[in-house]
Structure 1
Amino acid sequence: MPQDVRFDLPFTTPVSGHLHSAREQHLRWVWEMGLVRSEAAFEEYQSWDLPQAAIRTYPYANAEDMVVLMNWFSLAFLFDDQFDAARPDRADRVAEVARELIATPLRPVGSKPRVECPITVAWAQVWERLAEGMSLAWRSRFAASWGRFLVAHTEEVDLAARGGHLGLEEYVGFRRRTVGIHHSIDAGERARRFEVPAQAQAHPVLIGLRDAAADAIGFMNDVHSFEREKRRGDGHNLITVLHRDRGHSLADAEAEAIRMTNERLADYLEFEARIPEMCEELGLSYEDRRRVDMGVEAAQHWINGNYEWALTTGRYAAVKESAAATAELQGRGSLDDLLTV
């Protein structure tokens, strides 16, 4: 099964020791914020084990920040599940909520959401903590990456509502935005309390590195989540696109998706090897070079951490036994409606 597919990643990354205490606080917060509204949904949500993803992708966050990062993780995943391919009538509401999520980082910190539902109220609270202590430059960069991710999400919803499909070339560029890795790497700076210098962020080498990381992670996710998305009728998956657009059998499409993933991992390594040359070209100080290196580590944490989590998470499991999963297998894209009060 695709979730069992292994990739030979070129590095290992550390794991935070804050799992147990942070997970307990996080799960309590998810329930209290109304992000799960039934026991079945809570059971299913726990099977995803997002706290494991957080401790692997942000291994240097302190105990308090780890809770914030786990809380943030829940919002992106739960919002992603709010669109059901069998209910195109929800597209307008998804877009309305997405606009509110995009606007939150652009308003004064602590502003009350203008569109209220569990997702927007929780995001306003989380953003207040994420923005804490970070510069305007970082907040603006995060907001831009977050906005591109959410705009792409609404485009995906609209495309599915109209019964449209993307060809392979279009999908590759689109997936780079929907995977949400750019702002996730940005959050790695917040987790470790540093900022990559602006001139390095704007350099083609670092841009290429982040894009390659996003593609590799997106493609790996598509391989590991294929069974889940197939049963939901979700065509936003590289294997499905290769099968439909290129006429591959599913087995050949899976093999090609794996090849494309490995190709982008190789591209990532090439960009990483050019980082010292980039720092020299920019004339960066020792301290700025150290921040660049930590930014590269943030990308590594996401590549490896997300991969390790994807191999075991119940979110991508092909066979589910819980009551919540049974409801999903019957055609529900989301277990609880989080877009209404």
Structure 2
Amino acid sequence: MNSPAFSFELPFSSAISPHVEELRAHADAWSARSGMLDLIGRTTWAGGRFERLVARMYPQAPLPELRLVCDGVLWLFLYDDFLVPGQEGDEQERALSCAGLTARILGGTVGTRPDPPAGALWDLRRELLAAGPARWWQRWAADVQDFADSLHDEAVSRARGVPEDVEAYLALRRRTSGWAMLTDFVETAAGRVLPHDVPASPSYVAVRRAAGDVACAINDLLSLRKELAAGESHNLVLVLARNRGYDTAEAVREAERWIATRLSDYRQARQVFLDDCAHAGPAAAEPAAAFVQGLESLMRGSLDWSLESARYTHVPGNTAAPARPGGTDRSCSHPTGVHITKRGSDHEASLSPSRPVPLDSGPDAQRS
């Protein structure tokens, strides 16, 4: 099934770690140890090129920290793929069981390494407990548990077959993306942990959520064709179409406008966050600056990886080759339907300014 072309702006610089080849060897070894490749499919997993995702999202990280973050990102995708719909058995029970085991592993009550995929989290817990301060670990563990719980919530929603409203979808999408966990790793990659009171501040919540909304909505656009082909309903474009009575093209246009609105919200929230931390002194200001830079690397790195990974470009019946970064062509049509204009070696998509769209947007709406 075809999906409309779309465009958007993401004006952050592309970057990739110089350690990407070392990271590839590390990711291959980790994946082999996971015990999951035969179940997921070795070719499918390799096509994800996850080492490049990590290298793009955390381009400034030293190699030891990059390897540690890579383990966490690989686990996130492994867990998500383990619970992909359409497998044998009850999807809700499967997700609930996995979430329960996740809680026990994080709580330290599982004494021996469990079977895949949980064994990878058991290993990761031991690594991370030794690598950083307790306050960071507690936040990360809470965010991992919320991610696991959210996949059960998504399975329940799918089984009910009741269309979600837009705001409910957005709230669940933030959780199922693992965005909170990825932003925690920004601190690990930078070697700068935020002071304990900063993550509880409204300005931190606002800037992190706005960045996550941009990244998730762009991902929904890029995966739209594949999800249409698979009959999936959990996608911003499809939720907009159902709730607003749009056809797919109209829903894509509104999603584009919402990305522009949330990008504007991010810029405003970024300034408020940096000002708040500057007033708190250097102990907060310096980690905050690194955190904001990390958020922008997450947004841009996720986009660049999505354009070169087979995870979103491979659609049954679609033989188009994925776009690749670099080169001298000024534009290309990506298999997902996005028309990308390049500036130098970077992918850069353009979006004309447009009016805000009331989709639970704005920094105030994002605060909890």
TM-score range, shorter chain: 0.7 to 0.9
Contact 1:5–1:224 under 8 Å retained in 2: no
TM superposition score normalised by structure 1: 0.85
1:232-311 residue pairs with structure 2 within 5 A?
232-280=230-278, 283-311=279-307
- 1:289 deviation in Å? 0.9
> Secondary structure, in 3 states, of the residue corresponding to 1:198?
coil
- Output the amino acid matched with 2:95: V
Counting aligned pairs with the same residue, the percent is 25
- 1:5 deviation in Å? 4.5
Q: 1:13/1:275 Cα in 2 relative to 1: closer, same or farther (>3 Å)?
A: farther
Counting helix residues as a fraction of each chain, which structure ranks higher?
A: 1
1:166-177 residue pairs with structure 2 within 5 A?
166-177=164-175
Find the aligned partners of 1:3 and 1:51 in 2 and give their Cα distance.
30
Q: 1:81/1:234 Cα in 2 relative to 1: closer, same or farther (>3 Å)?
A: farther
Q: Does 1:76 align with 2:40?
A: no
1:18-37 residue pairs with structure 2 within 5 A?
18-37=19-38
Find the aligned partners of 1:2 and 1:215 in 2 and give their Cα distance.
21
Residue 62 of structure 2 corresponds to 62
1:140 to 138, 141, 146: 138
TM superposition score normalised by structure 2: 0.79
Find the aligned partners of 1:79 and 1:295 in 2 and give their Cα distance.
26
> Secondary structure, in 3 states, of the residue corresponding to 1:81?
helix
Which range moved further: 122-131 or 151-160?
Answer: 122-131
Q: 1:170/1:21 Cα in 2 relative to 1: closer, same or farther (>3 Å)?
A: same
Q: Does 1:231 align with 2:232?
A: no
2:182 to 181, 184, 192: 184
Find the aligned partners of 1:122 and 1:298 in 2 and give their Cα distance.
25
Find the aligned partners of 2:4 and 2:198 in 1 and give their Cα distance.
36
Find the aligned partners of 1:33 and 1:183 in 2 and give their Cα distance.
20
- 1:53 deviation in Å? 0.8
RMSD of aligned Cα (Å): 2.4
- 1:287 deviation in Å? 3.5
Find the aligned partners of 1:164 and 1:125 in 2 and give their Cα distance.
38
- 1:249 deviation in Å? 0.6
Moved over 4 A (4+): 1-6
Contact 2:229–2:316 under 8 Å retained in 1: no
Q: 1:180/1:33 Cα in 2 relative to 1: closer, same or farther (>3 Å)?
A: closer
Residue 202 of structure 2 corresponds to 204
Contact 1:2–1:226 under 8 Å retained in 2: yes
- 1:130 deviation in Å? 2.7
- Output the amino acid matched with 2:94: R
Residue 336 of structure 1 corresponds to none
Contact 2:226–2:313 under 8 Å retained in 1: yes
- 1:262 deviation in Å? 1.5
Contact 1:176–1:215 under 8 Å retained in 2: yes
Find the aligned partners of 2:174 and 2:3 in 1 and give their Cα distance.
20
Q: 1:118/1:245 Cα in 2 relative to 1: closer, same or farther (>3 Å)?
A: same
- 1:131 deviation in Å? 3.0
> Secondary structure, in 3 states, of the residue corresponding to 1:37?
helix
Find the aligned partners of 1:132 and 1:275 in 2 and give their Cα distance.
29
- Output the amino acid matched with 1:289: A
1:165 to 154, 163, 166: 163
Contact 2:166–2:240 under 8 Å retained in 1: yes
Q: 1:137/1:222 Cα in 2 relative to 1: closer, same or farther (>3 Å)?
A: same
Q: How many residues were matched structurally?
A: 316
Q: 1:103/1:151 Cα in 2 relative to 1: closer, same or farther (>3 Å)?
A: same
Structure 2 residues not aligned, in runs of 5+ = 319-368
Structure 1 residues not aligned, in runs of 5+ = 323-341
Q: 1:188/1:112 Cα in 2 relative to 1: closer, same or farther (>3 Å)?
A: farther
Contact 1:2–1:223 under 8 Å retained in 2: no
Find the aligned partners of 1:196 and 1:13 in 2 and give their Cα distance.
25
Find the aligned partners of 1:117 and 1:2 in 2 and give their Cα distance.
40
Find the aligned partners of 2:59 and 2:103 in 1 and give their Cα distance.
27
Contact 1:57–1:305 under 8 Å retained in 2: yes
Contact 1:48–1:314 under 8 Å retained in 2: yes
Contact 1:11–1:304 under 8 Å retained in 2: yes
